[in-house]
Amino acid sequence: MVTKTAPFVVADIGGTNARFGLVVGKDGDRYEIVAQERFPSGDFADMQALVAHYLALVAGHAPKHVCLAVAGPVGGDQVHLTNLGWHFSISELKESLGLEQLEVINDFVAYANSIPLLPAEAVVQVRSGQAVETAPIAVLGPGTGLGVACLVPSGKGWNAIGCEGGHIALGAATERQRQVLNVLAQQLDFVSAEKVLSGSGLPNLYRAVATLRGETPRDLSAADISELALDGEPTCFETLSLFCEWLGGVASDIALAQGARGGLYLGGGILPRFLEFFLKSDFVKGFTQKGVMTGYLSEIPVFLAIETHSALTGAAAWLDSHKV
């Protein structure tokens, strides 16, 4: 089946990479997304240059409808991408690209929108539980930043609601976390969850852990830290272990704030890279140990989505339901 506006373009534009695809049809709940491309976001001067580059690649299909899922808050005509420093007007971008329709949504709204459409093989169960079908589902994912969204049930399915929950203040639940947080507070102007529990934040966490261990921190990227942790390097191993445990605590904070007894879905580009390590980590311990709310959290199931183009699927579903 071909959607009304097909073919149309969807994109997931993060602080590190931009993924594009061309939607040419739909079979049940599955969108057929072809001509998928990934570009380093920083290779382009601005949003117009990036989108125009992909449109030129698929010019033979003459797409006039585009949905961009971007890493940043979206509201009104003006959009600012938090981790890229880009600023653009939706109406001006639409006109300059010669489009009939341009939808811009938060990337985690797109990701959340894809959750009900994911096939079973695209999801790994992290923790079993008993989901309440009428309750919201929390969506959380560390990528370049830390994305947060919520799925709220409605009579027609689910409504995806975005927020900036990744920027909440990071709290400590254990003595080691308190020690690390004290060091981070000396190094950063404000210690948000994203400043620690993300690709851009993992080096901050490493430097604090190294400092506490009496070591001189090395200049390591998030990928370096993860790779060294998997090889058993002690400081990086502790860093990545603490990352997983702390992520569990923040995930339970989000679940409590959203009343997400329908479940928690994890996504983002980081966790699938060290899936086995993550599944053996103290994430579940961090998630469930919540004082008087431990019982409340005890039945909330947790899943990890490992499909790399989930946000493209979510953006396709969004545009398909917002045709003009």
CATH number of the domain residue 213 falls in: 3.40.367.20
For residue 122, give the DSSP letter.
Answer: G
Residues 231 and 276 in one domain: yes
Q: Measured between alpha carbons, how far is 125 from 216 in angstroms, rounded to an integer?
A: 38
Residues 88 and 184 in one domain: no
Residues 234 and 268 in one domain: yes
Residues 21 and 100 in one domain: yes
The domain containing residue 292 runs over which residues? 120-306
Prediction pTM value: 0.87
Residues 232 and 206 in one domain: yes
Asked whether residue 112 is assigned to any structural domain, the reply reads no
Q: Measured between alpha carbons, how far is 118 from 305 in angstroms, rounded to an integer?
A: 8
pLDDT, one tens digit per residue, over 239-281 is 999 999 999 999 999 999 999 999 999 988 899 999 999 999 9
Q: How many domains does the chain have?
A: 2
Share of the chain above pLDDT 70, in %: 97
Asked whether residue 159 is assigned to any structural domain, the reply reads yes
100 to each of 49, 97, 110, 283, how far by Cα in Å? 18, 9, 21, 45
* 315 closest CA partner among 48, 123, 71, 43: 71
pLDDT, one tens digit per residue, over 197-221 is 999 999 999 999 999 999 999 999 9
Distance of CA 24 to the CA centre of its chain: 25
Asked whether residue 2 is assigned to any structural domain, the reply reads no
CATH number of the domain residue 69 falls in: 3.30.420.40
Residues 57 and 90 in one domain: yes
**Segment 38-67 mean pLDDT:** 95
Residues 14 and 149 in one domain: no
Asked whether residue 214 is assigned to any structural domain, the reply reads yes
Residue 100 has a CB neighbour count (10 Å cut-off) of 12
